[in-house]
A and B are shown apart, each in its own frame.
Chain A
């Protein structure tokens, strides 16, 4: 039985903010070494993931398949470097393993495969799947009489997939109160501004109209995120969504709100600059050889 907090979790906001900064540095290093894309969207969801793993989820890294654990699916699978770094940070596997991200035959592919690493609940990468899968897991929990919660972290562009709204309708109809969706609303998708490509706004009103309890938060305010996630968990009779207003590339001034970082990976010099901006000039770096590519 997974009860209470099991990850050396904390509600100390300063601690969570420091861990989030360290996780950002890892993600920057991973992208730089592996020459992988999707860095901006990884940086925008790190505070959300840190709040979840650091303060909210009931899950034991020593027993990551415990049937009573909370389930968390990163539905925006292109940002999985953030999830890998977060899982490593919270003890699911050694942080040193992050150097193998996207290396041949490693268990940390550029986008996750099923069960590739401890704590990875679902292989995502194709958008619009994670919410339905989390809904299925929540329905299974209800049928089995278990009390775990299911979380799906989605991108804003992902909400253009019709399947998201199929899941939204069914979750509300079935009153699945143990389902929590978090939208990383960074306002940018692959080729431009979300609201210039599709009529996304008013996004919170859309979720409310679909029967969900909806909270809006600053997705980089750790205290607000933890409080919203705690409220979402306690909310009965309705599924709950948190629309987290975020900034793509958050934490590194020259990456923030610049969509080139949907595709670019940083040079070693850029990582050095970012490291100072993150307040981690003295932090240790990943070791284990040079870039894989």
Chain B
């Protein structure tokens, strides 16, 4: 995802001379091509995220389209008040990009884990929250973000994840993207879980459970039409995210569900529990601990279906 981001922002900077990239001293050589072409529109803000965000707000208020990029917890939690006041309260078009979200940096420990960022960003007025599912969606989300008149948060995974789409899909704000059609179960995949969710689908299809997959990149605003349809049509609707079950995408869907109780589908929410990880280990291991691996999720969905039968 991060390579796709670097390539896409370079591409977009050629087309739009208002695009400005600010980053917080990460991505060794990642932005070499951008820097070479647009050195005057590139700012390595060093290890100072609060200043970076306020500087971006000042740049945006002066007619440019700044994009801020660094590791997710430092891009969201560390400088939260600057995002809240200078970006959102002033409603200026700053694109905030958190890389390595969720458990992408699993082995680096809790300092680098980020499973609270969706909660933090989606509670901010004016903020749009995009969680692309693969590298192609990253490109589409960045294009869409730079068309918005206000702030956008984009949540990236790491690099070299499996790619689901063959080319960048046509995405619209507030519209989930259907990746696969189905009849019985609807998997609402949020962000970098999409490749794992496709494996969940494979397992369910193998059990003759017709399974739909939606890539729910637009966490805010939600796709309310899609949710109304899903809860009215499917037996089980499952949200899947590499984020805390508190405040994340599944919580947003549950909030919507509480306000719109029509439809008989059972809601299942897959995410991370209310605890830090203290163990060493990589992303796949921590996902298994959280029950975010395909076998575990498919098993839970099958149990739920059996209980309903």
Contact = CB atoms under 8 A, between A and B. Distances in A.
Contact of B41 (A122, A135, A141, A143): A143
A137 B58 CA distance: 5
Interface string B62-106: 111010000000000000011001100111000000000000000
A270 interface: no
A138 B60 CA distance: 11
A7 B58 CA distance: 24
B308 to A, nearest CB: 50
Contact of B54 (A67, A141, A163): A163
The SS class assigned to the A binding surface is helix
Contacts of A170: 43, 45-46, 48, 51, 55
A11 to B, nearest CB: 29
Interface string B30-43: 00000000001101
Nearest to B47: A166
B5 to A, nearest CB: 22
24 contacts: A67-B62, A122-B61, A122-B86, A123-B85, A128-B50, A129-B54, A129-B82, A129-B85, A132-B54, A133-B58, A133-B61, A136-B55, A136-B60, A136-B62, A136-B66, A137-B62, A139-B58, A140-B61, A140-B64, A143-B64, A163-B48, A163-B51, A167-B54, A170-B46
A163 B50 contact: yes
A68 to B, nearest CB: 11
A123 B51 contact: no
A143 B43 CA distance: 12
Interface of B: 20, 40-41, 43, 45-46, 48, 50-51, 53-64, 66, 81-82, 85-86, 89-91
B48 A166 contact: yes
Given A133-B55, A139-B55, A169-B48, A163 B82 contact: yes
A215 B27 CA distance: 39
A159 to B, nearest CB: 14
Interface of A: 67, 113-114, 122-123, 126, 128-129, 132-141, 143-144, 162-163, 166-167, 169-170, 174
A138 B63 CA distance: 12
A132 B55 CA distance: 5
A134 B86 CA distance: 11
Contacts of A139: 43, 55, 58-59
B21 to A, nearest CB: 12
B77 to A, nearest CB: 15
Given A128-B50, A134-B58, A143-B40, 8 more contacts: A123-B85, A133-B57, A143-B20, A144-B63, A166-B48, A170-B45, A170-B51, A170-B55
A126 B85 contact: yes
B54 A114 contact: no
A169 B46 contact: yes
Contacts of B43: 139, 170, 174
A126 to B, nearest CB: 6
A85 to B, nearest CB: 23
B283 to A, nearest CB: 31
B62 A140 contact: yes
A167 B91 CA distance: 22
A239 to B, nearest CB: 13
A121 to B, nearest CB: 8
A163 B85 CA distance: 14
Nearest to A124: B85
A135 B55 contact: yes
B54 A133 contact: yes
B198 to A, nearest CB: 41
A-B pairs with lowest CB-CB distance, top 6: A136-B58, A132-B54, A140-B62, A166-B48, A166-B51, A136-B55
A136 B66 CA distance: 10
Contacts of B50: 128, 132, 162-163, 166
A292 B199 CA distance: 64
Contact of A137 (B45, B61, B91): B61
Contacts of A123: 85, 89-90
Contacts of A174: 43
A140 B48 contact: no
Contacts of A129: 54, 82, 85-86
A132 B64 contact: no
A133 B86 contact: yes
B25 to A, nearest CB: 12
A80 B60 CA distance: 23
Given A122-B90, A162-B50, A170-B45, A67 B63 contact: yes
B54 to A, nearest CB: 3
A21 to B, nearest CB: 33
Contacts of B61: 122, 133, 136-137, 140
Nearest to B62: A140
A144 B90 CA distance: 21
A144 B18 CA distance: 9
A169 B47 CA distance: 11
B58 A132 contact: yes
A24 B40 CA distance: 44
A114 B63 contact: no
A166 B63 CA distance: 23
A136 B48 contact: no
A139 B59 CA distance: 7
B91 A114 contact: yes
Nearest to B81: A126
Nearest to B66: A136
B54 A136 contact: yes
